[in-house]
Amino acid sequence: MSIVTAGLLGAVIFARHGDRNEFFQDPLTYNPSNTVLTPLGTVEENFLGEFLQATYINNSSSNAIDGLDFPVADLDQLLVRADAAGEGVTIVSSTMALLSGLFPPTPAFNITLANGTTVVGALGGNQFIPVETVEPDLDISLNSFTSCPNFDAHTLAFYGSPQFAAEAQTAQPFLDTLEPFLDGRSINFTNMFNIFDFVNVNNIHNATFHDELPATFVEQAYGFANFHENGVFSDVSPSGIGNVAFRTILPSVFSSLTRIANASDPLKLALNGISYKPFISFFNLTAASVDGQPLFGIVDYASALSLELHDNADASGASDPVLTFQFKNGTSDTEFHPVSLGVFNDSTSVPLSTFINTLSPFAINNTAQWCQASRSPPIDQYLPYSMATRPEKPVSDVNRHSELYLDTIVFEVQGTLFKIPHSGLSGDATALATRFLLTDSADGDASGSSDANPIRLDAYITVFDFTSFVKAVGPPSGQEQLNLSLDEWMSVLKLAKLWNLADTRQRANSQAERIMSKSTPLEKILLGRKHGVIQWIKNGYKAIACREGGLTPEEKESLDLETRYALLELRDRVWAWTVANYPYSSDAAASSCKATFTDWEVAMLQIFADELRDGPLC
Answer with the residue of higher pLDDT: 137 or 361.
361
Residue 406 — very low, low, confident or very high, per pLDDT cuts 50/70/90? Answer: low
Mean pLDDT of 543-564: 84
Mean pLDDT of 139-168: 90
Give the pLDDT confidence score for residue 443 in this predicted structure.
47
Mean pLDDT of 425-433: 52
Q: What is the CATH number of domain 5-165+245-370?
A: 3.40.50.1240
Q: Is residue 411 over pLDDT 60?
A: yes
Of all residues in the chain, what percent carry a pLDDT higher than 70? 80
450 forms beta bridges with 453
Residue 165 — very low, low, confident or very high, per pLDDT cuts 50/70/90? Answer: very high
Of all residues in the chain, what percent carry a pLDDT higher than 90? 48
- Judged by average pLDDT, the poorest of 7-11, 329-333, 364-368, 499-503 is 499-503
How many whole angstroms from its chain centre is CA 519?
A: 32
CA distance linking residue 80 with residue 268, whole number of Å = 11
CA distance linking residue 50 with residue 99, whole number of Å = 9
Give the pLDDT confidence score for residue 481 in this predicted structure.
59
CA distance linking residue 509 with residue 493, whole number of Å = 7
Q: Is residue 54 over pLDDT 90?
A: yes
Give the pLDDT confidence score for residue 204 in this predicted structure.
97
- Judged by average pLDDT, the poorest of 159-173, 211-225, 475-489 is 475-489
Give the pLDDT confidence score for residue 400 in this predicted structure.
64
Mean pLDDT of 415-419: 84
Single pTM value for the model: 0.64
The neighbour count for residue 44, using CB atoms within 10 Å, is 27
Give the pLDDT confidence score for residue 255 in this predicted structure.
94
Q: Is residue 438 over pLDDT 50?
A: no
Residue 453 — very low, low, confident or very high, per pLDDT cuts 50/70/90? Answer: confident
Answer with the residue of higher pLDDT: 120 or 29.
120
Q: Is residue 231 over pLDDT 60?
A: yes
Give the pLDDT confidence score for residue 377 in this predicted structure.
46
Give the pLDDT confidence score for residue 13 in this predicted structure.
99
CA distance linking residue 274 with residue 13, whole number of Å = 10
Residue 381 — very low, low, confident or very high, per pLDDT cuts 50/70/90? Answer: very low
Residue 538: partners with Cβ closer than 8 Å, 6 or more residues away:
528, 600, 604, 612
Greatest mean pLDDT among 18-22, 434-438, 533-537: 18-22
Give the pLDDT confidence score for residue 473 in this predicted structure.
78
Domain boundaries along the sequence of the chain: 5-165+245-370, 168-232, 386-513, 521-612
Answer with the residue of higher pLDDT: 129 or 424.
129
Give the pLDDT confidence score for residue 376 in this predicted structure.
43
Give the pLDDT confidence score for residue 386 in this predicted structure.
36
pLDDT, tens digit, 9 for 90 and up, residues 510-540: 888 888 888 898 888 888 887 777 788 888 8
The identity of residue 429, as a single letter, is A
Report the chain's mean pLDDT, rounded to a whole number.
83
pLDDT, tens digit, 9 for 90 and up, residues 287-301: 999 999 999 999 999
Domain 5-165+245-370 and domain 386-513, same fold? Reply is: no
CA distance linking residue 375 with residue 369, whole number of Å = 10
Q: Is residue 5 over pLDDT 50?
A: no
Q: Is residue 200 over pLDDT 80?
A: yes
Answer with the residue of higher pLDDT: 283 or 553.
283
| Architecture of the CATH domain 386-513 | 2-Layer Sandwich (3.30)
pLDDT, tens digit, 9 for 90 and up, residues 597-613: 566 667 777 778 767 65
CA distance linking residue 286 with residue 270, whole number of Å = 20
- Judged by average pLDDT, the poorest of 114-128, 332-346, 429-443 is 429-443
Q: Is residue 383 over pLDDT 80?
A: no
Contact 474, 488 (CB under 8 A): no
Sort 241 into a burial class: Cβ within 10 Å, 0-12 / 13-18 / 19+: buried
Give the pLDDT confidence score for residue 170 in this predicted structure.
97
The identity of residue 23, as a single letter, is F
- Judged by average pLDDT, the poorest of 122-131, 186-195, 413-422, 594-603 is 594-603
Answer with the residue of higher pLDDT: 371 or 342.
342
Q: Is residue 578 over pLDDT 90?
A: no
Report DSSP letters for 183-230, one per residue: TT----GGGHHHHHHHHHHHHHH-HHHHHHS-TTHHHHHHHHHHHHHH
- Judged by average pLDDT, the poorest of 153-157, 475-479, 491-495 is 475-479
Give the pLDDT confidence score for residue 11 in this predicted structure.
98
Greatest mean pLDDT among 93-97, 367-371, 480-484: 93-97
The neighbour count for residue 456, using CB atoms within 10 Å, is 17
The identity of residue 182, as a single letter, is L
